[in-house]
């Protein structure tokens, strides 16, 4: 009886661990972010638009908080993720297409 319970607990623990591993892998694949060098290379080659172009195209108003800028692949598309401070001082996350 003890062995059956121990086996069942072990099986549940393995299933939970595998579930987290698969979910983490899928999320990592969905949200691949580039480093600064990779971003510059892709902008220079014309594969991606600069942040300023993406902001202008989207009509975003406010001040970009530059320390929080990322370029990530989200749902199969390259997206700029930035925080924008509006004129009242409120900061909000914004996602802009980079392609």
pLDDT in tens, 2-48: 554 544 444 444 444 444 444 444 444 467 999 999 999 999 999 99
Within 31-97, residue ranges assigned H as helices are 36-44, 51-58
Do 16 and 57 sit in the same domain of this protein? no
Do 59 and 95 sit in the same domain of this protein? yes
Structure tokens at 38: 């990779």
For the entire predicted model, the pTM comes to: 0.66
Range of the domain at 6: 1-30
Which string of b and e fits 1-29 if b means at least 16 CB within 10 Å? Answer: eeeeeeeeeeeeeeeeeeeeeeeeeeeee
Do 13 and 59 sit in the same domain of this protein? no
User: What was the pLDDT predicted at 1?
Assistant: 53
Domain count, the chain: 2
Task: Give the angle 63-91-73 at the CA atoms, nearest 5°.
Answer: 85
pLDDT, tens digit, for every residue of 53-97? 999 999 998 888 878 899 999 999 999 999 999 889 999 999 999
Within the chain, residue ranges assigned H as helices are 2-30, 36-44, 51-58
């Amino acid at each position: 009886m003890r062995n059956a319970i121990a086996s069942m607990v072990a099986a549940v623990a393995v299933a939970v661990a595998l579930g987290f591993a698969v979910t983490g892998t899928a999320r990592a694949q969905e949200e691949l972010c580039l480093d600064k060098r990779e971003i510059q290379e892709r902008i220079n080659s014309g594969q991606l638009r600069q942040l300023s172009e993406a902001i202008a195209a989207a009509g975003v108003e406010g001040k970009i908080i530059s320390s929080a800028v990322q370029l990530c692949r989200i749902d199969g598309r390259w997206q700029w993720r930035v925080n924008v401070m509006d004129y009242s001082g409120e900061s909000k996350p914004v996602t802009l297409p980079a392609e």
